[in-house]
Structure 1
């Protein structure tokens, strides 16, 4: 029997059975916490805290909502508590230093369903891409929660108001502010930032980007960038906007003189990505360097978010590549 059908709540459920019920929702709760927090690792900690709180408060589940919705309430409050302690202020200036990537292989663990299924909304492409994650991190925490619960998860305003301890009017007002704030940070047109299913043109563009990067061909890379391209490398401060600024940064960092690169195609946050490895003679292998996550619009690269090589294990990428080219 599922928790949603439990006739007398969960007070009499033993811990193994409770854990089994909760574990079914682990991945989608992790994605929810990740969207709230922007950090893969903080999301993991918060899901663990959610399950601990849920077990300790199991007698409060009375069946007025679904077990899934009850867990989301606890998870959202756990996120708000963490944000109050660790990040009392939202992101500013278009940068999110704590941003971390989310591997597609883990997003695929959320149960597949129709477009109107609640689980499908959890990993909808347009709300898991990095552009959305960056924009939502610029909202105040409670405003962020209202936006995610209403616009991503489709909760009624009265349920959001109950969770946040606000009136429905307050929630609707917060939602209006959130949507306005999102418009300030998202690309102007929806189709510019929701990449849609990857097509042959995108795959070819990523191949050319990979080849030009391995060859450290800055002119070749520049030809693939849109004029207003954005480039960042969290947690390192600095946001470059525009092709000239991005190319200038590459030149100043000595990218042209780098030799011994290899690129491995992958995908994170439902976006194409390339993991780069650098040859280390002493190790006799290629070791993780960086991963570039690309946003592609209109046949050009419009954003590059680069993460450090320490993210490779989380992304399921090899820890090294041998000299013979096999993985």
Structure 2
């Protein structure tokens, strides 16, 4: 009943003190919470409205004090360094993705067994012996398949970079 009678007046009072509707709503809630906590301290029923405005005055004052302390604390903290730009990284990632599509287009032309050896030895960094174990084939087979794959890709991927340097660069970029 107390809230229904006086909430609008307290809300308007808070808004006029802080000029922010959302903050005034929060402060009004705090006023009535404090009133509930101090309900035994009401001097007389005729002075309830004045008592609520007294609480509201203190709540607004505390809020302003809190804001001043917050601003002072922020002023003491060293300013953050500039936000890093992710534009260059994004551009590089897009470039890598496009380049990898070209590479994968050429790799898809290889027989599956050569693709597997290439993925294990060149992209994943396995030794010939490790790839042989992974694929259950002799080490010599791994060597010959990888040699054929590199030869095939060398003829299909031309430009200033060799296929192997592109793949190794992708691998280095991914590891970082």
Q: TM-score interval w.r.t. the shorter chain?
A: 0.3 to 0.5
Q: Which has the higher helix share?
A: 2
Larger CA Rg, structure 1 vs 2 = 2
What TM-score do you get using the length of structure 2 for normalisation? 0.37
Q: Which has the higher strand share?
A: 1
What TM-score do you get using the length of structure 1 for normalisation? 0.20
